[in-house]
Amino acid sequence: MRKIVALLCAACLTAAPRTVCAAMADSAKSACVINGTTGEVIFAKNETEKLPMASTTKIMTAITAIDHSSPDEIVTVSAAAASQEGSSAYIEPGMEVCMQDLLYGLMLNSGNDAAYAIAEHISGSVEEFAELMNKKTEEIGLNNTHFKNPSGLEDKEHYTTALDLALTARRAMSIPAIREIVGTQKYQTKTDNTDKVLYFSNHNKMLKMYEGATGVKTGFTRAAGRCLVSSAKRDGMEFIAVTLCDPNDWKDHTEMLDYAFSKYYPKRIVEKGMTVKTAKIGGEKYAMTAAEDFVIPLRESGGNTIDVISHISQDLAAPINAGEKVGYLEIRYDGKTVGSVDVVSESDIMENGNIEIGNSFYAHFRRVTEKLLV
């Protein structure tokens, strides 16, 4: 591991302060918007107040399910799961449904039956599955969240905060399978042992009404009121908004996301195809390049430290195929890892032998730094 360089995004190293704006989300009991890449809080209102969160619970259900199962596992639906009250994926007792399809029913239809079936399959009971969810809160670093079930049905010991829910969504959107599901508007599938076709439709209207919307989840019970977690991405920048108990959530989320996009600009920290390292073998030089761009949303007025750390083995040996991963770049924002980019070989390296790794990345990255500081 080798730290290449630190980017100072302004002369001042103090992070920009969180903005509280009373004009936004005034109908919500609590609300917040975070930077989806860094987790920085952009706007907040009662963001640490413990409140019920209805079916936005299912964001954590999906995270936990993916951690403890594979998408092609077959789940046999029990009578207890099929009879769950509230919103439904319309699964029936005895149906055999693959886990991936159940996750679509969970997140699009907000199926309480799907949540129950997933919990039973993985843990044997809702109670045991809820404990897995609670362990996940510790891993993510949520301080004010507790789960009693995977669906969000009312329970006085089932609660979260707007901030914790935003951080939960940030974790979920880092998982490609969940990102794909929550960005899907319609989905249909057949069960393994019946001819019945299941049709799922996303309840999240933001996907249609907001430019760049990517997710995430709606929720409602009489105790919790209208709850919404939304996300949107433009120019490589993604923001996540949350409101709890908000009768005007579509309007409020539009305003909060607009506010976030107006306060940040996209900074491309890593460019796809840029040479990270050079490899030398048999007198020939080969380039090791970044497999994709990496963008961090930055404030015009704030200063933060960005570190890029190279993780490339010094013991690489040929042959190596073009496009083969040889390492990765770790991107840190104010000391915390916020993402990574694979490093791949630009071309085939067919000559057998040990490879000598050079240091060409530093000069390229220094030029990026100088542009950033102008």
Nearest to 118 by CA among 88, 87, 74, 153: 74
CB 59 within 8 A of CB 229: yes
What phi, psi does 76 have (nearest 5°)? -95, 120
Please report, to the nearest 10 degrees, the dihedral formed by the alpha carbons of residues 150, 151, 153, 156 taken in order.
30
What's CA 133's distance to the chain center, in Å? 16
Give the 3-state secondary structure percentages of the chain, helix then strand then coil, rounded to 5: 30, 35, 35
> What are the structure tokens assigned to 69, written together?
């199962």
SS3 assignment, position 138: helix
Measured between alpha carbons, how far is 92 from 77 in angstroms, rounded to an integer? 7
Which residues are tagged catalytic?
Answer: 55, 58, 110
Cβ-count burial of 342 within 10 angstroms (0-12 exposed, 13-18 middle, 19+ buried)? middle
Strands (E), 185-224: 186-190, 197-201, 213-221
SS3 assignment, position 46: coil
SS3 assignment, position 27: coil
Q: Which residues contact 121 (CB under 8 A, 6 or more apart)?
A: 69, 73, 75, 76, 99
How far, in Å, are 21, 145, 162, 244, 333 from residue 46 at the CA level? Answer: 12, 15, 8, 10, 26
